[in-house]
Amino acid sequence: MGLLQKHLGQLEAYSGIRRAGADPFQVAFDAVLSPTEGLINGKRVILLGTNNYLGLTFDQESVEASVEAVRRWGTGTTGSRIANGSYGAHTQLEQSLASFYGRKHAMVFTTGYQANLGVLSALVGRGDHLILDADSHASIYDGARLGHAEVIRFRHNDPEDLYKRLRRLEGQPGDRLIVVEGIYSMMGDVAPLREMVEVKKETGAYLLVDEAHSMGVLGEKGRGLAEAAGVEEDVDFIVGTFSKSLGAIGGFCVSDADDFDILRVVSRPYMFTASLPPAVVASTLKSLEKVEADGALRAQLMANAERLHAGLNALGFTTGPKASPIVAVVMPDLPTALSMWNGLLAGGVYLNLALPPATPNNRPLLRSSVSAAHTPEQIDEVLAIFEWVGREFGVLPSLDQRAAG
Ligand code: PMP
């Protein structure tokens, strides 16, 4: 028996998924033509499954900054910042992030995943409590494991449940850190942050907000949910990523916490991995300037989100209740989800198939996400393809059934 046979259950499920059509977990692009179009197996598809919320991956100035940096500084740093040194641009990016958020400190990680791992594992450890929304991203759960704090989960987006669980800890030693996300990556819903801040204040806990999907998307200046909800002063730590609205890769944490820089020598996912390559830092710096300066991109993004959300609901699909750049279409079961996903791809729409247990309430989802770069015509084309495929696979009533009804 081979080492991988212990995953037999998953292997069987995965084979079933592969038998149903294209492999949703191994999609390969022949080309990416723009932030909203790509080629898969020679077929042009609309990209509706990225996190490219502002469409900045092909921003001319960001691309140029990246090209110049790679020529000047080379392709990679080949090591971690504590062992092999920082480049000026790493520090510059940290200064820009601190200034963007109006915070004293910022620290950059090589991915957003590592930012959560590095920050959570260093802020709380044995004897402390980490209070997590049940629908937290895997990087938050993994950060919890790395730090050995005791994990308590509260019901998704439920401040009352959060309060109840914190009250039960009264009198126990150790620190408590609440972690919530600005926009949740599967359903696109937003945390009730003001209410959570009230709970935090009443119970003396610290609060960390992961703004991975909300940075560049929410708030007048694009700082995320804490800005939009007017509670930035009450959020102790903000974590985010460069891989979504900033169109690159990397993660960060900003804070006003005293002695913040100690993180650099206690956070293993910062210390024991190579730092961001110069080209990535350069494009991120440029894109951050755009996020700060260009509120029009955010307005366009929200208009596109509303168009897609309203259109899907008008057709009769089940989505989350509110428009958001992430619009998840709930599927009744796995076979239908697979058929729909394959049908959409064949029809010219690429989006994400999200399966339990990564999805809330164990329902399969077709996770779509819009970009400021989509045109209204592209969204309308997506809706037309959704309608056709939905009728084909019985998620929507067929036109004959409708006429009969
Ligand atoms: N936090 C959240 C909420 C996320 O959704 C993700 C990625 N989807 C991450 C962190 C990790 O970010 P990255 O992909 O940039 O490593």
pLDDT in tens, 271-287: 999 999 999 999 999 99
Q: Which of 105, 137, 213, 286 is catalytic?
A: 213
Q: Taking 70 as the threshold, does the pLDDT of residue 402 lie above it?
A: no
Q: Which of 62, 66, 139, 185 is catalytic?
A: 185
pLDDT band (50, 70, 90) for residue 79: very high
Residue 15: what pLDDT?
86
- 137 is annotated as an active-site residue: no
pLDDT in tens, 354-396: 998 888 888 999 999 999 999 999 999 999 999 999 999 999 9
DSSP-derived secondary structure letter, 327: E
pLDDT band (50, 70, 90) for residue 400: confident
Q: Taking 70 as the threshold, does the pLDDT of residue 18 lie above it?
A: yes
How do the domains of the chain map onto residue ranges?
A: 16-47+295-404, 59-293
Residue with CA at minimum distance from ligand 1 atom 12: 112
Enumerate long-range contacts of 146-154, CB under 8 Å, 24 or more apart: 146/117, 146/120, 146/121, 146/268, 146/269, 147/120, 147/121, 147/122, 147/123, 149/120, 149/124, 149/125, 149/177
| Peptide bond before residue 357 is cis, with ω within 30 degrees of 0 | yes
Per CATH, 16-47+295-404 and 59-293 having the same topology is answered no
- Interval between CA 241 and ligand 1 midpoint (Å): 7
Q: Calculate the CA 400 to chain-centre distance.
A: 40
Structure tokens at 104: 């004293």
Residue 401: what pLDDT?
72
CA distances from 194 to 47, 178, 184, 231, 257 (A): 34, 13, 16, 7, 21
Q: Which atom of ligand 1 is nearest to the CA of 250?
A: 15
> What average pLDDT score do residues 390-403 get?
85
Residue with CA at minimum distance from ligand 1 atom 5: 185
Average pLDDT over all residues of the chain:
96
CA distance 141 to 67: 36
Q: Which residues pair with 95 in a beta bridge?
A: none
**Could you identify the residue written with the tokens 């439920």?**
158
pLDDT band (50, 70, 90) for residue 16: confident
pLDDT in tens, 301-348: 999 999 999 999 999 999 999 999 999 999 999 999 999 999 999 999
> What average pLDDT score do residues 254-275 get?
98
**The complex's ipTM?**
0.99
- 200 is annotated as an active-site residue: no
Closest by Cα among 215, 352, 217, 214 to 295:
217
- Interval between CA 112 and ligand 1 midpoint (Å): 5
Residue 270: what pLDDT?
98
Q: Which of 90, 200, 244, 309 is catalytic?
A: 244
CA distance 369 to 361: 20
Q: Which atom of ligand 1 is nearest to the CA of 116?
A: 10
Specify the fold of 59-293: Aspartate Aminotransferase; domain 2 (3.40.640)
Superfamily for domain range 16-47+295-404:
Aspartate Aminotransferase, domain 1 (3.90.1150.10)
Q: Which of 117, 119, 132, 137 to mutate to test the pocket of ligand 1 (most atoms within 8 A of CB)?
A: 137
Strands 129-133 and 150-154: parallel
- 43 is annotated as an active-site residue: no
Closest by Cα among 260, 278, 258 to 270:
260
Burial annotation 103-129 (CB, 10 A radius, 16+ → b, else e): bebbbbbbbbbbbbbbbbbbbbbeebb
H/E element, 330: strand 326-330
- Interval between CA 239 and ligand 1 midpoint (Å): 10
> What average pLDDT score do residues 220-240 get?
98
pLDDT band (50, 70, 90) for residue 1: low
The set of protein residues with a Cβ atom below 6 angstroms from ligand 1 is: 111-113, 116, 137, 139, 181, 185, 210, 212-213, 241, 243, 251
As to burial, measured by CB atoms within 10 angstroms (0-12 exposed, 13-18 middle, 19+ buried), residue 234 is middle
Q: Taking 70 as the threshold, does the pLDDT of residue 59 lie above it?
A: yes
Q: Taking 90 as the threshold, does the pLDDT of residue 74 lie above it?
A: yes
- For the entire predicted model, the pTM comes to 0.96
Backbone phi, psi, residue 230, to 5°: 70, 30
